[in-house]
Chain A
Amino acid sequence: NAGVTQTPKFRVLKTGQSMTLLCAQDMNHEYMYWYRQDPGMGLRLIHYSVGEGTTAKGEVPDGYNVSRLKKQNFLLGLESAAPSQTSVYFCASVVAGGPNEQFFGPGTRLTVL
């Protein structure tokens, strides 16, 4: 049981490049989330999904897109990376049905030059 995994762990992009971050969970959780964390700050929600084929915007969705084609995977895409998107990205998942602990992945450190 690997929990929540993220790919890649590190990435450096040039402004305008695109990339996709992959989050996978093997706990059969219904809900999945993408957060970003900037230095000295808490995590901020980008997008989330309450089930396969459904996504919703979070607190800071601009410049990102997501897809949840399979229950176990949640993809975060940057179509045209900007330096303001330099951050650490965390994925999380939780079982549906009420307040429960969210399990977080190890993070992806992204630098946009």
Chain B
Amino acid sequence: GESVGLHLPTLSVQEGDNSIINCAYSNSASDYFIWYKQESGKGPQFIIDIRSNMDKRQGQRVTVLLNKTVKHLSLQIAATQPGDSAVYFCAENLFNQGGKLIFGQGTELSVKP
């Protein structure tokens, strides 16, 4: 079946440190993945995406790594700030099936000042 799961439900880091959030997926045919950030009381907000023909993609302070061999992706946040505190979800996008998203459970990132 199709599923996306996360390794750690919570992550606590010191302000200024780098954060790494991990995600495993099961559908080997998936070729598009998205990371979302969800702050309390709000809807998910797009952070970064990656296609399966890439193994790394960088944004502003964020990097996503994709390892198709072990069906794993990660989100790295550089110099983590208090405003980064949120729940982070990886999602598998089935764009050939009406663009559906399959979400993982989420990792709650807490940044200590």
Whole-angstrom CA separation of A100 from B100 in the bound complex: 11
Cβ-based interface call for A31 (8 A): yes
Interface residues of B, count at CB 8 A: 26
Cβ-based interface call for A44 (8 A): yes
Query: Which listed residue (A40, A96, A99, A107) contacts B42, Cβ 8 A?
Result: A107
Q: Which of A48, A59, A104, A107 lies at the interface centre, i.e. has the most chain B CB atoms within 10 A of its CB?
A: A104
Whole-angstrom CA separation of A112 from B4 in the bound complex: 29
Interface residues of A (CB under 8 A from B): 4, 31, 33, 35, 40-45, 48, 50, 56, 58-59, 90, 92, 94, 96, 98-107
| Residues in B57-113 with C-beta less than 8 Å from chain A | 89, 91, 93, 95, 98-106
**Known interface pairs A33-B99, A99-B49, A99-B93; 4 further A-B residue pairs with C-beta atoms within 8 A, sorted by A's residue number:** A41-B105, A42-B104, A102-B99, A104-B44
Query: Which listed residue (B4, B44, B99) contacts A100, Cβ 8 A?
Result: B99
Interface residues of B (CB under 8 A from A): 4, 9, 31-32, 34, 41-46, 49, 51, 89, 91, 93, 95, 98-106
| Complex A-B: 6 CB contacts under 8 Å | A4-B43, A33-B99, A40-B105, A42-B105, A45-B100, A56-B98
Q: Known: A40-B105, A42-B105. Contact between A101 and B46, CB under 8 A? A: yes
Q: Known: A90-B44, A106-B42. Contact between A48 and B103, CB under 8 A? A: no
- On chain B, the residues within 8 Å of A92 by CB distance are 43, 101
Whole-angstrom CA separation of A96 from B97 in the bound complex: 11
Query: Which listed residue (A48, A59, A98) contacts B98, Cβ 8 A?
Result: A48
- On chain B, the residues within 8 Å of A106 by CB distance are 42-43
Whole-angstrom CA separation of A40 from B51 in the bound complex: 27
- On chain A, the residues within 8 Å of B51 by CB distance are 99
